[in-house]
Amino acid sequence: MRIATFAFLLLLLTGCFNAKENEVSYTKYQDTITIPAPLSFSLFQYKHPLIYFLNGDSNQLFVFNLDQNRMVGRVQIPASPYNNIEFGGIHSFYVHNNDSIFLQDLYSFSIIDTSGKRKYNKIINSPGSNHWPAILYNNISGVFPIYYDTVLNKLFTRQYSGEKMMSEREFYAVKVEAQMDLRDSIMKELPVGYPVLYNKNYCGEANLVFREVADSTNIYSFMASPDIVIYNRYNGDIKRLTAKSRLQHKDFTPLSLHYSKEMNRKMDHLVENPLYMKIIYDKYRSCYYRILLNAKEIKNEDGSYNTFSDKDLIISVFDKNFRLLTDVNAGSNHLWDYSFATPKGLYILRISDNTHIKQATINGKDLIFDIITFDIGHARM
């Protein structure tokens, strides 16, 4: 099923940091968010100084003040007519302000306020139909959240084929994002597609797309490619750049389509290839962080085998023009997806005794983050 959430996105990563690499020095320390109530989440949003966690068990947004290290509120999400059917529940959210919290489930977009009052609703993806529409709008795998641009009054969302499987090349002919104008609720796709690598090859499970939002641009990253796409939301300009880590030691090798139904081979393929994950925009330092899970040999010299959780997490730091400043090998003891930029530095969630994964969801008592602060001001810009 195309809507499936891939558990491997949340696999554990371990290791330690060097003190200095290349031209950019950095410091590292830890911060712990103490959870006063049971929290099981897979979606979150950081909006200084607040972090919003979607608690799927209670269908609530838990609101934490990071500076005060305490929970400051909860927002009860109203029931949806689609929550009790297949793939029910919230797939994505975006908090604009107290009066406008955007929600996306499989069959609708909606807007609520902090009291839970629903203020807007638009039906999507043909609920009740016997087949999917040609284009689906959904936060596939939980890594491409919706975003609202207040200047344009438009909502941005992931889109993909509802008719083709990910193993079919036609799936990658569909553009990766659409925008909806809230004045008329009309969907319009953006002119951003997959790299040629996907159009000509089978990349196995390395098919996720990530989108980061900067001041005026959307930045797109693809798992199998070091290339990125930068789209200007206001004038429509598109730039295609290569943002490759110096620590990437081999190129991505496509997989034979013969293995499209063999999950064990596809998981080995993820281990032995470099995988580019999310990009994080740091508005406080005018730079970008790109996450790479580096390639790993399947079998070690001692006869032991590596798994996805053994892959090294590489943080590549780019300046505002995407010139590479430094690369840091963070090892494999972190959950790469739960990372965000703050005035203090880059937060990355550590795996710990109180933080574990259950069905692709984080279950935590105390959330322990490494904070890495890069001294960008002394780097060559």
The mean pLDDT of 10-29, rounded to a whole number, is 55
Residue 117, pLDDT > 80, answer yes
The pLDDT tens digits for 256-285 are: 999 999 999 999 999 999 999 999 999 999
The pLDDT tens digits for 203-234 are: 999 999 999 999 999 999 999 999 999 999 99
Whole-prediction pTM: 0.90
Neighbours of 226 (CB within 10 A): 20
- 97-115 in b/e form (b: 16+ CB < 10 A) is eeebbbbbbbbbbbbbebe
Pairwise CA distance, residues 69 & 49, whole Å: 10
How much of the chain, in percent, has pLDDT values that exceed 70? Answer: 87
> pLDDT tier at 5 (50, 70, 90 boundaries)?
very low
The pLDDT tens digits for 364-378 are: 668 889 999 999 875
- Residue 40 CB burial class (10 angstroms; 0-12, 13-18, ≥19): middle
Mean pLDDT of the chain: 89
The pLDDT tens digits for 39-78 are: 778 899 999 999 999 987 788 999 999 999 999 999 999 8
The pLDDT tens digits for 130-168 are: 899 999 999 988 999 999 999 999 999 999 999 999 999
> pLDDT tier at 354 (50, 70, 90 boundaries)?
low
Domains of the chain: 7-378 (2.120.10.30)
- Residue 162 CB burial class (10 angstroms; 0-12, 13-18, ≥19): buried
What local confidence, expressed as pLDDT, does residue 129 receive? 85
Residue 250, pLDDT > 90, answer yes
Pairwise CA distance, residues 381 & 376, whole Å: 8
- Residue 297 CB burial class (10 angstroms; 0-12, 13-18, ≥19): exposed
What local confidence, expressed as pLDDT, does residue 271 receive? 97
The mean pLDDT of 301-329, rounded to a whole number, is 95
What local confidence, expressed as pLDDT, does residue 83 receive? 55
> pLDDT tier at 10 (50, 70, 90 boundaries)?
very low
